[in-house]
Structure 1
Amino acid sequence: MSEQTTAPEPDAAPLSLTPGERVIPSWTDPLAAAATRPIGGPLGEHAAVGRHWFWSPQRVALLFAMFMLMLSWFGKGSCIQQYQDSSGASQLDWRAGRPFVAMCYSDIVPLYSAEHLNDPQTFPYVSSWVEDAGSQKARTRYMEYPVVTGMFQWVNARIAQGWLAGAEAGWLPGALPVAVYFNITAFWLALAWLVTVWAVGRTAKRRPWDALLVAISPLILVHAFTNFDAIATALTAAALLAWSRKRPEVAGILLGLGAAAKLYPLFLLGALFVLCLRSGKLKQWSIAAGFTAATWLIVNVPFYLAAPQGWQEFFRLNTVRPMDPDSVYNVVSYLSGWTGFDGVLPRGTTPTWLNIVVAVLFLACCAGIAYIALTAPRRPRLAQLCFLVVAAFLLTNKVWSPQYSLWLVPLAVLAIPRWRILLAWMVIDALVWAPRMFYYLGVDHKGLPEGWFLSTVIIRDLAVIALCTLVVQEIYNPAKDLIRQAGDDDPTGGVLENTKDTKKNAQTASPAK
């Protein structure tokens, strides 16, 4: 469509857009405007938007995402290099602390052998092995990930086995088995992140360029292939897209699959419940929740019946896991000398009081978010509540593995499409990786002391809290919300969008009123 409006200054008053008209970042966002100067500056007043035969905001975002994923793969590539030992056998080159010095560490590499994926005779949750065999700490172990993630690893291991057979036959290039496994896994994780970018761009509707923030996120450079979290982000982003298209049953199926990969997609049902309660749309919520539960059960029940002890390993490990180095509890412990709610416990002992405190704090945050959603002058947008819930979980949880920050990226872009603020947070969060790696290297090997690492954790937590504060401010003052400044109600809302707000005296009209 041809734009005839004069391009306003980025800091000018909010634009009044006609229905269906795109929000143009170079007109509305100072960072986007500055970024366009090397290529001619902001979009011209007579530019034809949406007329190019191939390039669209989504395709541009996907292209940038592929470039970032390529850089991320090269960043992890140092950890799949090999060398020949004294006997002439090829070995993975993790000598001299390479994973930490090169900052290329990825869980995918050690898990290949740790989860016995290199053994073609094993099957997740059914097969077991003994950890610390021959000692008093000996314990039977099983696959430690939820079913979708566990099977994802096993299938990739079997594909790698087939690739290696082709390499032996001479018609495929060969490498160390773990390197082949890593590359196959990275391919599917890259595809999952591309799905995440695509889903955010489709959900944003009149703001398709916001997907570029997901595509170029600095967190992708360090964490796209750190673990398997891109699977859950893809399923969650696709679920939000399905809900925005008024398909609660599809959203439920995707959330169920996401919950079978990582726990956090289940939290979105809580945000949906509060908003549907306020809007009188509990029937649609029941459909989504029912399909979520059914999907999760269909995926999990067969494994539970076939190998109940192996299936429970994920839950057991999360119960006995102590406070993570990245958690706020460890920060408090380091600064104060506090030994934790349970004191010093032997390895493998359940930190009962820590688990209780974590659960209580998260539930208290959820209650506070529900109160905000029900008392706000206008119904909050779905993405705003989803971001608050997931951020609250990470801030109060005893574990914040660095790749968990990927969970927030698509939710933050949909909730707070402010480019400078989001990129600043993403840079801060991504930079935590460097001191973390050198902390694990150890002071004895010229690494960093714990205090340096924890100082970056504090800054990261404060940045996330600042984002949450901004979201709450925009919930209580919708006129400051960029989405509603453009005249939209809730592009992610689906059946909630433009529905009558049941809160008395709620502002259901334009936020400009």
Structure 2
Amino acid sequence: MSEDLPDGEVPPRPRRRGPARRFGTLALVVLVALCGVTLLLGFLNKDRCTGPEYDKLGRSGPDYDKRSKQDVCYSDIQFLWIGRDIDRHVFPYVDGALTPDGQPVGGVVEYPVLTGVIIWASALFANTDAQFLLYSALVLAPFGLLTAWFLGKLSRWRALLWAIGPPLVLYAFHNWELPVVACAVAAVYVVHRGWGKRGVDRPLLTRATAAAVLLGLGFAFKVYPAIFVLPLMLYVLTGGRGGREATRKVPDWLAACQIALTALITAVVVNVPFALAGFEGWKASFTFQLQRKADITTNSIWFWGLRPYSDPDNKPVQDLIGVLSPTLMLVSFVIACALGWRRYVKEGTYPWVAVSAAMLCGFLLLHKVHSPQYTLWLVPMFVLLRIRWGWILAYFLADLAMGIGIFRWYYEIFYGKHGGIYDGLAAQAVMVGVWGRAVLLVGLFYAFLVARSTVDDDPLAEGTGEPPGRRSALAT
């Protein structure tokens, strides 16, 4: 019971429970600066593989291939300088195709079109693989810094998991992941914080539509943000926070369809010019990934779980993997969305970020390719959702085992002296990486689905149970 106040005295204004007020501009600057230092360390780590001499194609020497594996400084950026006409400054996709044995030629790169454009732009003024790595880092780094800024605004100091985490050192410039991660995180930011002066006061449909554009752009970088469109649709369908943000009586099917259509149109608009300019080259980037086999380079449970039958030349098994992998991924997506719905019925808010994180776990676990740098996709989910620190530490350790062990293992296979392909510490580290990540992804699938958000303006972030306000008609 509150105490009586003297006549005329105004009761004090309740303090905001969320800690966003304590995370000011200076803290955000420090966070982004720390991320900059980590990105610099990431570049220096990869730059160890460049030079000191170069051949006529601009390839580092001596012994680039051996050194990149032995010293664990390999990056796809430096490696792909040769073999995709990047060194010849050919604009991607337009004149390209796949060779009969499935190799890209004529400017085709095995990535969606916006990543291809970034690759081409980064190589414009480069004459060696070292220059290409440097210019690529300069192009990619702002996306990493922007991601740190978004995460800081959303989750405060927890964003240090991104800004100074080991994965950023290992993989920031291993491949071209930073733009797509920035798109995915920006979509969460726009939904929960809006933009400009009006910020979160903008209608939910307006914010979610802008987020759908970002997810469509993410598809044009590296595909995976497209899977977040479905949870976002369900969030809009159910009226957002507590069902209180719907512009119409929930369920708002029209608004949910608008989100899907916006993401689709965005992806189509970005891809159509390339398809018109060179259909075979554009199609080749997708065909290459569809035809890719589960082999020693994919690091997936499919290759290791089906040994020795998963050899690339075993067509029946590879065809089976080609069916099981996408089918089981879709099943995992359905399960994640359904469990998210059960939580919505209990709490009144559809946990779209938690469901997106669980779907990402299903993708990483069940896709036939699990490249080490995909960890960068998962780290923002560690920031945005309040899971136990043990999960995060365990995943970082398993990832370190994979990120370091895989290249040392390749070195042992091709250049080392060992008794067998599975002998030695490096081979064991790879096994820890493959199966450790797999087990953790299964656990994280559930941990994410029950986790509370760390986003400031999410009523569930304060751990108060059911959000205030009226419950959605769908939840009654």
Task: Judge same fold: TM > 0.5, yes or no.
Answer: yes
Please tell me whether the aligned partners of residues 219 and 427 of structure 1 are also in contact (alpha carbons under 8 angstroms).
Answer: no
Report the CA distance between 1:98 and its aligned residue. 0.6
Partner residue, 1:186: 137
What is the 5 A alignment of 1:374-389? 374-376=341-343, 377-378=346-347, 379-389=349-359
Report the CA distance between 1:152 and its aligned residue. 0.7
Following the alignment from structure 2 to structure 1, what is the Cα–Cα distance between the partners of residues 438 and 17? 37
Post-superposition CA distance 1:69-123 (Å, at most 9, x none): 11111111111122377x9x98434447110111000000121222111114x22
Answer yes or no: is 1:127 the counterpart of 2:95: yes
> Alignment partner for residue 332 of structure 1, among 305, 309, 323?
305
Post-superposition CA distance 1:154-195 (Å, at most 9, x none): 11111x24xxxxxxxxxxxxxx52211110101122211111
Answer yes or no: is 1:358 the counterpart of 2:330: no
Following the alignment from structure 2 to structure 1, what is the Cα–Cα distance between the partners of residues 18 and 461? 15
Identity rate, percent: 24
Partner residue, 1:151: 117
Following the alignment from structure 1 to structure 2, what is the Cα–Cα distance between the partners of residues 446 and 429? 23
Please tell me whether the aligned partners of residues 224 and 230 of structure 1 are also in contact (alpha carbons under 8 angstroms).
Answer: yes
Q: 3-state SS of the aligned residue for 2:459?
A: coil
Report the CA distance between 1:60 and its aligned residue. 2.1
Answer yes or no: is 1:466 the counterpart of 2:463: no
Following the alignment from structure 1 to structure 2, what is the Cα–Cα distance between the partners of residues 344 and 433? 28
> If the length of structure 2 is used for normalisation, what is the TM-score?
0.80
Report the CA distance between 1:297 and its aligned residue. 1.3
Post-superposition CA distance 1:20-65 (Å, at most 9, x none): 5407xxxxxxxxxxxxxxxxxxxxxxxx9467xx622x22221221
Change (3 A) 1:209 1:221: same
Partner residue, 1:441: 411
> Alignment partner for residue 269 of structure 1, among 229, 242, 253?
229
Following the alignment from structure 1 to structure 2, what is the Cα–Cα distance between the partners of residues 286 and 138? 37
What is the aligned residue count?
421
> Alignment partner for residue 454 of structure 1, among 431, 437, 441?
431
Please tell me whether the aligned partners of residues 319 and 350 of structure 1 are also in contact (alpha carbons under 8 angstroms).
Answer: no
Following the alignment from structure 1 to structure 2, what is the Cα–Cα distance between the partners of residues 384 and 130? 39
Following the alignment from structure 1 to structure 2, what is the Cα–Cα distance between the partners of residues 383 and 338? 38
Report the CA distance between 1:443 and its aligned residue. 3.2
AA aligned opposite 2:146: V
AA aligned opposite 2:232: L
AA aligned opposite 2:210: V
Report the CA distance between 1:468 and its aligned residue. 2.1
Partner residue, 2:365: 395
Change (3 A) 1:50 1:275: closer
Partner residue, 2:335: 368
Change (3 A) 1:84 1:284: closer
> Alignment partner for residue 19 of structure 2, among 16, 19, 22?
22
Please tell me whether the aligned partners of residues 197 and 211 of structure 1 are also in contact (alpha carbons under 8 angstroms).
Answer: yes
Following the alignment from structure 1 to structure 2, what is the Cα–Cα distance between the partners of residues 255 and 195? 16
Partner residue, 1:3: none
Please tell me whether the aligned partners of residues 61 and 197 of structure 1 are also in contact (alpha carbons under 8 angstroms).
Answer: yes
Report the CA distance between 1:285 and its aligned residue. 3.1
Report the CA distance between 1:425 and its aligned residue. 1.9
Change (3 A) 1:194 1:240: same
Please tell me whether the aligned partners of residues 382 and 490 of structure 1 are also in contact (alpha carbons under 8 angstroms).
Answer: no
Please tell me whether the aligned partners of residues 361 and 396 of structure 1 are also in contact (alpha carbons under 8 angstroms).
Answer: yes
Please tell me whether the aligned partners of residues 124 and 143 of structure 1 are also in contact (alpha carbons under 8 angstroms).
Answer: yes
Answer yes or no: is 1:214 the counterpart of 2:162: yes
Post-superposition CA distance 1:404-453 (Å, at most 9, x none): 11111112321235445424422321331111011211335227844522
Answer yes or no: is 1:97 the counterpart of 2:70: no
Partner residue, 1:12: none
Report the CA distance between 1:485 and its aligned residue. 12
Following the alignment from structure 1 to structure 2, what is the Cα–Cα distance between the partners of residues 18 and 419? 28
Change (3 A) 1:210 1:140: closer
Partner residue, 2:384: 414
> If the length of structure 1 is used for normalisation, what is the TM-score?
0.74
Give unmatched runs, 5+ long, in structure 2. 1-13, 195-203, 240-250
Answer yes or no: is 1:231 the counterpart of 2:191: no
Please tell me whether the aligned partners of residues 59 and 82 of structure 2 are also in contact (alpha carbons under 8 angstroms).
Answer: no
Please tell me whether the aligned partners of residues 299 and 371 of structure 2 are also in contact (alpha carbons under 8 angstroms).
Answer: yes
Following the alignment from structure 1 to structure 2, what is the Cα–Cα distance between the partners of residues 414 and 458? 25
Give unmatched runs, 5+ long, in structure 1. 1-16, 24-47, 162-175, 475-480, 506-513
Following the alignment from structure 1 to structure 2, what is the Cα–Cα distance between the partners of residues 400 and 472? 22
Following the alignment from structure 1 to structure 2, what is the Cα–Cα distance between the partners of residues 139 and 432? 26
Change (3 A) 1:285 1:210: farther
Partner residue, 1:300: 271
AA aligned opposite 1:472: L
Q: 3-state SS of the aligned residue for 2:82?
A: helix
AA aligned opposite 2:116: G
Q: 3-state SS of the aligned residue for 2:222?
A: coil
Change (3 A) 1:391 1:384: same
Following the alignment from structure 1 to structure 2, what is the Cα–Cα distance between the partners of residues 486 and 299? 32
Please tell me whether the aligned partners of residues 248 and 284 of structure 1 are also in contact (alpha carbons under 8 angstroms).
Answer: no
Q: 3-state SS of the aligned residue for 2:221?
A: coil
Following the alignment from structure 1 to structure 2, what is the Cα–Cα distance between the partners of residues 189 and 402? 18
Q: 3-state SS of the aligned residue for 2:53?
A: strand
Please tell me whether the aligned partners of residues 321 and 351 of structure 1 are also in contact (alpha carbons under 8 angstroms).
Answer: no
Please tell me whether the aligned partners of residues 193 and 234 of structure 1 are also in contact (alpha carbons under 8 angstroms).
Answer: yes
AA aligned opposite 1:83: E
Q: 3-state SS of the aligned residue for 1:81?
A: coil
Answer yes or no: is 1:251 the counterpart of 2:211: yes
AA aligned opposite 2:305: V
Change (3 A) 1:484 1:248: closer
Post-superposition CA distance 1:181-240 (Å, at most 9, x none): 110101122211111111122233xxx112111112211111111100111001111111
Q: 3-state SS of the aligned residue for 1:61?
A: helix
Report the CA distance between 1:288 and its aligned residue. 2.9
Please tell me whether the aligned partners of residues 115 and 143 of structure 1 are also in contact (alpha carbons under 8 angstroms).
Answer: yes
AA aligned opposite 1:79: C
Following the alignment from structure 1 to structure 2, what is the Cα–Cα distance between the partners of residues 255 and 95? 37
> Alignment partner for residue 153 of structure 2, among 202, 218, 237?
202
